[in-house]
Amino acid sequence: MKAYQVSKEYSISSLEQVEKSYPKLLPNEVLVKMKANSLNYRDLMVVTGYSSWKPPVGRVPVSDGVGIIVERGSDVTALAVNDRVAGLFLPKWIDGKLTDEKIDGSLGGAKTDGLLQEYAVFDHNEVIKVPDFLSDEEAAALPCAGLTAWHAVIEKGDIKPGSKVLIQGTGGVSLFSAQFALMAGAEVILLSSSDEKLALGKKMGINHLINYRQIPDWEKNIMDITTGRGVDHIVEVVGGSHINRSINVIALDGTISVIGLIGGLSAELDTVKIMSRQIRLQGIEVGSKEMFTHMNEALMKHQIHPVIDHVYSFEDVKSAFSHLEKGATGKIVIKY
């Protein structure tokens, strides 16, 4: 079978397509023929060997994928051949709170192969069925970006009708977050550098649109929109010192969900404001299978479709990663 693996050069251009032997099943496992993958910024860091995301040479990258079960082990009863499933980003986090044991072994990272391959083997507990109304491309977007947004906005966000939510950018996590916030009845503010992307936000029903290139002091606009109170929840996808800008516009007792790190891995923060305004800085690590089940139920109930930017073929993986590196509106998908 064909697969891609990380080479010793650690770059997009040196991603290698190789032939691997077909995996053999243990009694508790299922064999999945992959149909589609979606890319996340974390996959780019793995492929380019960035910081703690650097994997060993030969690692199969990419955490997100959906496929069809083509074979099951003798002990598997809850899943059937032809079931369409996605792998869990954190295979050991089934339910409950996150622990050191549950966070270990994320797909396509430093320790565990990912899903950029024609076939993959999973423990039967480490996959989840995906909604029938979604295409393969759409379903492939759920395991990381979708679930991370769900975890931040719904599971821990305490979003209510009328809550004011700030979404930064139009990447996969951001647009999922906007969809879930709107679903919950929130008033959503979207920041983007592009009027074209803001037009997409308008079509989605987002209430307030701000082009931060045209309005570099966007904090003032947000305070005007909220009549000086600030927003209740912020999906912070930039990270680094940019968190201070979020601190400037969060309401008293508000929550900032820290998800992204494109702005840096560390920063000096305004700790006085964090303390005096009772701000919650909330780190979000994807989510559990239990949360994934809740998300699937909401997707089906509200018929929410992920936003797909572009679909690439399995033979054109390098172009997909180059697109990711430049930035995307929604999700970039690889189709088999």
CATH 3.90.180.10-classified regions of the chain: 2-146+287-335
CA dist 247 and 72 (Å) reads 50
For residue 232, give every residue at least 6 positions away whose Cβ sits within 8 Å of its Cβ, in sequence order, or none. 159, 163, 164, 165, 186, 251, 254, 255
- Tell me: the pLDDT tens digits for 75-98? 999 999 999 999 999 999 999 999
Kindly indicate the confidence band of residue 18, based on its pLDDT and cuts at 50, 70 and 90: very high
Res 196: pLDDT: 95
Res 262: pLDDT: 76
Residue 13, phi then psi, degrees to nearest 5: -65, -20
CATH 3.40.50.720-classified regions of the chain: 157-283
Beta bridge partners of 4: 17
Q: Tell me if residue 97 falls in helix, strand or coil.
A: coil
- Tell me: the pLDDT tens digits for 151-192? 999 999 989 999 999 999 999 999 999 999 999 999 999 999
Res 270: pLDDT: 87
- Which has the closest alpha carbon to 176: 286, 322, 91, 14? 286
One-character DSSP codes across 129-197: E--TTS-HHHHTTIIIIIHHHHIIIIITT---TT-EEEEESSBHHHHHHHHHHHHTT-EEEEEES-HHH
- Tell me: the pLDDT tens digits for 122-140? 999 999 999 999 999 999 9
Residue 316 · residue 296 · CB < 8 Å: no
- The count of C-alpha atoms lying within 13 angstroms of the C-alpha of 63, restricted to the half-sphere facing its C-beta, is 26
Q: Residue 165 carries which side chain, given as an amino acid letter? A: V
Kindly tell me if the per-residue pLDDT of 23 is higher than 90.
no
Q: Residue 18 carries which side chain, given as an amino acid letter? A: V
Kindly tell me if the per-residue pLDDT of 295 is higher than 90.
yes
Kindly indicate the confidence band of residue 22, based on its pLDDT and cuts at 50, 70 and 90: confident
CA dist 310 and 40 (Å) reads 13
Kindly tell me if the per-residue pLDDT of 112 is higher than 80.
yes
Whether the model clears a pTM of 0.85, i.e. scores above it, the answer is yes
C-beta atoms surrounding 272 within 10 Å = 9
Beta bridge partners of 304: none
Strands 250-258, 280-283: pairing is parallel
CA dist 306 and 154 (Å) reads 16
- Which has the closest alpha carbon to 119: 20, 198, 52? 20
Q: What is the mean pLDDT of the chain?
A: 96
Kindly indicate the confidence band of residue 261, based on its pLDDT and cuts at 50, 70 and 90: confident
CATH number for the domain whose boundaries are 157-283: 3.40.50.720
Q: Which CATH architecture has domain 2-146+287-335?
A: Alpha-Beta Complex (3.90)
